[in-house]
Structure 1
Amino acid sequence: MRPESAALLWDIHAAAIRIAEFIAGKDGTSYSTDELRRSAVERQLEIIGEALKKVRIADPETAQRVPDIARIIGLRNILAHGYAVVDDAVVWSAASQRVPELLAVVDQLLAD
């Protein structure tokens, strides 16, 4: 792994931990009615997607080890550019289900 990839993976790790903290004890309904929390989670998902985009460019070998990298980057693009069509249920699913899976992958990559 390239050194810049490790730094980006640490950024992803930090953003994933923040998301976990932001949604702790919440469900999809309470999430969708909390504008501040939605904004915070969406920002961290943007950070994750942007960091993975940079990993994919700088270190394709490491990027290949991240499942669904294209979908994660795609979500970042929607959040950043298609903000008017953001589906809270999709973001909640990403935050509550996919981010923990991603965190496990990132932690393994950093351990290697």
Structure 2
Amino acid sequence: MDIDLKAWLYDILNAINEIESFLVDTPKDFQFYQSDLRTKRAVERNIEIIGEAMSRILKKDKALEISNSRKLVDVRNRIIHGYDSVSDEVIWSIVIRHLPLLQDEVEKLLGE
């Protein structure tokens, strides 16, 4: 695998792990997430990183199979450019529903 692709996949994996670390000592509860500004901003920042890494991956290798890859880039763009319209519900849904699948896919691509 190309060294750049591997680096970006590790960036995604590290961002997912960081998001998970924010939720270790707290309940995985939407109301808690929504009321904790620091956690929200930290999660959003890591989703920006995931989206940027995904954008770079898609530009370099369109054949790489990752679920919802384009949607992750779109969410990154929304957070950065449409910060005033970021939905807590959408971000939480990504954390709960999509990041576990993404983590599995990235680990498989990296052979972990």
TM-score bracket relative to the smaller structure: over 0.9
Match of 1:31 in 2: 33
Between the aligned residues of both structures, percent identity stands at 35
The answer to which structure, 1 or 2, has the higher relative contact order (CA under 8 A, 6+ apart) is: 1
Residue 92 of structure 1 aligns to a residue in which SS? helix
- TM-score between the two structures when normalised by the length of structure 2: 0.93
Residue 56 of structure 2 corresponds to residue 54 of structure 1: yes
In the TM superposition, what whole-angstrom CA distance separates every residue of 1:21-79 from its partner, at most 9, and x where no partner exists?
Answer: 112333000000000000000000000000000000112222xx101111111010101
Report the residue type matching 2:32 in the other structure: S
Match of 1:110 in 2: 110
Q: Please, what is the CA RMSD of the aligned residues?
A: 1.2
- Aligned 8 A contact 1:23 1:96 in 2: no
- Aligned 8 A contact 1:20 1:96 in 2: no
Mapped to 1, the partners of 2:98 and 2:62 lie a distance apart of 21
Report the residue type matching 1:45 in the other structure: I
Structure 1, unaligned stretches of length 5 or more?
Answer: none
List structure 1 runs of 4+ shifted beyond 4 angstroms: none
Match of 2:98 in 1: 98
Please report how far the alpha carbon of residue 96 of structure 1 lies from its aligned counterpart in structure 2 after TM superposition. 1.7
Structure 2, unaligned stretches of length 5 or more?
Answer: none
